[in-house]
Amino acid sequence: MGISDEKVVAVIMVGGPTKGTRFRPLSLNIPKPLFPLAGQPMVHHPISACKRIPNLAQIYLVGFYEEREFAMYVSSISTELRVPVRYLREDKPHGSAGGLYNFRDLIMEDNPSHIFLLNCDVCCSFPLPEMLEAHKRYGGMGTILVIKVSAESASEFGELVADPITNELLHYTEKPETFVSDRINCGVYVFTPDIFTAIQGVSSQRKDRANLRRLSSFEALQSATRNPPSDFVRLDQDILTPFAGKKKLYTYETMDFWEQIKTPGKSLKCSGLYLAQFRFTSPNLLASGDGTKSATIIGDVYIHPSAKVHPSAKIGPNVSISANARIGAGVRLISCIILDGVEIMVCNRIQCFQIALKTLTEVPLNLTHD
């Protein structure tokens, strides 16, 4: 296969309703991946980034949500990006690597030379084309996007050590109790199809160990509660850790922004990061206005075309207003996300971390008169 004929497939892990409970109550009425950040569903940002990958053939969303919850979005985003996007529902938990392996036949339908794996709840600039080029230079099985963080926060993530010259992954440990490194795993990867052989190897080893054991019924029960099923394979503990230092895995460090979207508070920060990125990537999505014919806009603001905002309102910075929302006269919005159909018609000030749902009475809002 020539370089120009190489195809790339992207897989985005979106989780399910039983996961991401720390994101509640925002995920009670809308799947977390579809919650809007900077006016777009959370999953839209990694999907849009995948569009920039050369020779992209297909994007798969893998999760536990009912297919009907993603059907409309998948259809619209496929049309918008002109790239096939398909949702694949897992029948049971297989782990981050096992979930990838579970759909290996579909993923390999286009005979891709490279496979991107992204987590939906990651907010970053997604330097995927640059990452792919680095991965090809390394010549390994996989490349991990990494970032430098403070030593205090590093233990909340997977810490890693890489060769400063070759960028080879030398050591990886998930959420260590003692400090290992200030470089962490960003949850974005690119692999060759060899990743499936590696995952299969982990699964086969577990089966072999189970077959070699001669356990009483009590011991078998105890073992079953301690050990995951053979088809449950975790990318971090079962792949990254054992393959570190074997010239199979490499790192690509981003100097840009990165956040993990686990809590409601993080959603507002990440919405602001994406709004700021729009200045360079999609300036047409940012609103403008000086208070004459339209509202006064301060800083980075997104307003959906169907939203109605009174000219006397003052909006921004870091504000995202969703479809069919109505903002009345004299309203002041600062650092907030206004969801679909919300009406704010009184002369109020919404400031700091505020996310308005269907009506102002559904969630506590810190409202003070201007």
Could you tell me the CATH number of the domain that includes residue 161? 3.90.550.10
Low-confidence winner among 197-201, 208-212, 260-264, 349-353 (lowest mean pLDDT): 349-353
H and E: helices and strands count for the chain: 10, 25
Alpha helices in the chain (DSSP H): 44-50, 68-81, 95-102, 104-107, 128-138, 151-154, 194-212, 217-226, 241-243, 264-281
The pLDDT tens digits for 178-199 are: 889 999 999 999 999 999 999 9
One domain for residues 245 and 290: no
What is the band of 293 on the pLDDT scale with cuts at 50, 70, 90? confident
At residue 92, the pLDDT reads: 86
Note whether 236 and 123 are same-domain residues: yes
Question: Mean pLDDT in the chain?
Answer: 86
pLDDT at 228 over 50: yes
- Report pLDDT for 352: 45
Distance CA 286, CA 327 (A): 17
The token pair that represents 149 in the structure block: 């963080």
Verdict on whether the full-model pTM lies above 0.95: no
Task: Say yes or no to pLDDT of 315 above 90.
Answer: yes
b/e sequence 199-222, b meaning 16+ C-beta within 10 Å? beebbeebeeeeeeeeeeeeeeee
Q: Give the Cα separation of 284 and 307 in Å (integer).
A: 16
- Asked whether residue 249 falls in the same domain as residue 328, the answer is no
Q: How confident is the model at residue 208 (pLDDT cuts 50, 70, 90)?
A: low
Q: Are residues 51 and 153 in the same domain?
A: yes
> Do 224 and 291 have their domain in common?
no
Q: Are 313 and 296 within 8 A, CB to CB?
A: yes
Q: How many domains does the chain have?
A: 2
Domain that holds residue 62: 3-260
Same domain, 248 and 317: no
80 and 138 fall within a common domain: yes
Across 164-168, 284-288, 365-369, least confident range: 365-369
Q: Are residues 324 and 252 in the same domain?
A: no
Q: Residue 366: is its pLDDT beyond 80?
A: no
Residue 334: CATH number of its domain: 2.160.10.10
Q: Is 271 a domain residue? A: no
pLDDT at 127 exceeding the cut of 90: yes
Binned at pLDDT 50, 70 and 90, residue 205 comes out as confident
The predicted structure's pLDDT at residue 243 = 97
Residues 159 and 67 in one domain: yes
Confidence of residue 289 (pLDDT cuts 50, 70, 90): confident
- Bigger pLDDT: 209 vs 163: 163
- Coil, strand or helix: which one is 115? strand
